[in-house]
Amino acid sequence: MSFLGIDLGTSGLRALLVDSGGRPIGATERHYPVSHPHSGWSEQDPAHWIAALDGAVAELRDRHPEFAALRGIGVAGHMHGATLLDADDRVIRPCILWNDTRSHAEAARLDATPGLRDLSGNIVFPGFTAPKLEWVREHEPENHARIARVLLPAAFLNLYLTGDHVTDMSDAAGTSWLDMGARDWSDALLAAGHMRRDQMPRLVEGSAAAGQLRGDLAQAWGLSHPVVVAGGAGDNAAAACGIGAMAEGQGFVSLGTSGVLVAARDGYHPAPETALHTFCHAVPDTWYQMGVMLSATDSLNWLSQITGASPADLTAPLGDDLRAPGGVRFLPYLSGERTPHNDAVIRGAFTGLGSGTTRDDLTRAVLEGVAFGLRDSHQALRETGARLDRMMAIGGGARSRYWLRVIATTLDVTLTLPADGEFGAALGAARLGMVAAGAGSVADVMTAPDVVEEIAPDATLRDRFDEAYGMFRAAYPGIRAVQ
């Protein structure tokens, strides 16, 4: 048997075919554009997702005979996107994406609604789905009046695959319409956002069957047997499935464009006042919490652009031996911040610059500033009872061993590095497809990858990093006051 994992990303789709042991057979990617018609707007045509999926499947089918044995499919998708459908399942307008900030006023108004945080477990961020629909209601009433269904991006692909409107709990958790503790749509939350339960997709757990592959698609793909489509997952929940972060004490740090600290939780422990995200996991009776900083590797990429040196060229002179924090401090708020400040207005800053400041000093300050921002999330997680003494490090920034040593010492956590290979959201989606199709239990399938290296905190420098973190925390209100 083979299984297909689909990772529907913001800029492209990745499709991964695995065998019955979850080992990769083949993978391919397709890319598509993002539209920014106005400042702060971010939209996408869902037709591009379908074209990308069709092209990826055609390539895998042609290149890998094992595709003919396909038995299960899972879809992971970028969260929060509002795909609006009419009564005939036609797309009404381009999907408003997770990084669209036009609905900041609507988000603030919803967030001030009494009881809303208690039910949803989260602050209503502008990127969430509910404020997007409020914006459509107020600015595009003719479109709002036509809405028969609202689907998240992954659910839109589920509709294409199965013909049914269905989404999983982890993706639905980012809408501000889900009662997070009850794992069900909340009539009160829907009413606050002028929506109805009949406009929502059917809810399933991510590892449960959402339906079967449509007969006409199965025929077009050369398949003559039933194929189960799993509920799927939001992208970070799928990534957790891909690295086996499924239970209390397991988590990961992702150093991508944004920085994410994810902790699996055995129970429901909301803490919206910390600006942590508390979401349902992709498997039953499990949740996860996530701290988000908006500019992680993006901060290093910004320094790369203004210095004309590649990120690798910036970090290479630092070597491998960790040094105490320097006198230059960097606040990594180039695009605002989520955890713990929930501040869309704050912007980045350097402090402590002098005539002797070098490019290496700036680079170290950027790496340290991102690590301090991640410590904000780590401390918020600890305040909810999460204990993460070891975390797997993934993402492009994890290629810098110096950066990982900074983060390990700043967080006082041992970081582990996975063996080369597949371990991201596409693998997590394929694993959900395996469980839904009966090819194994969550415990059997959602295992951690082999670890090739461990990076422990430097005990000799821990106090120096603690002191520097204290100064970093003190800088935020001062910088905020003068911007």
Burial class (CB in 10 A: 0-12, 13-18, 19+), 39: exposed
Q: How far apart are CA 388 and CA 193, in angstroms?
A: 36
- The two structure tokens encoding residue 25: 């057979």
Residue at 10: amino acid letter? T
- The two structure tokens encoding residue 120: 């949803």
In terms of Cα–Cα distance, which of 436, 482, 459 is closest to 161?
436
Q: Indicate the Cα dihedral angle 341, 276, 426, 129, nearest 10°.
A: -80
Tell whether the torsion through CA atoms of 120, 122, 126 and 127 is positive or negative.
Answer: negative
- The two structure tokens encoding residue 131: 């404020």
C-beta separation of 59 from 47 below 8 A: no
Burial class (CB in 10 A: 0-12, 13-18, 19+), 200: buried
Q: How far apart are CA 7 and CA 5, in angstroms?
A: 7
For this structure, is 45 an active site residue? no
- The two structure tokens encoding residue 348: 């980045």
Residue at 457: amino acid letter? P
In terms of Cα–Cα distance, which of 177, 176, 183, 41 is closest to 100?
41
Candidates 100, 235, 298, 458; catalytic one: 235
Q: Of how many residues is the chain composed?
A: 483
Residue 268 to residues 186, 358, 389, 402, Cα–Cα distance (Å): 16, 47, 20, 35
With H, G, I as helix, E, B as strand and everything else as coil, classify residue 333: coil
In terms of Cα–Cα distance, which of 265, 257, 282 is closest to 445?
282
Q: How far apart are CA 435 and CA 442, in angstroms?
A: 6
C-beta separation of 171 from 77 below 8 A: yes
Q: Return the active site residues.
A: 235
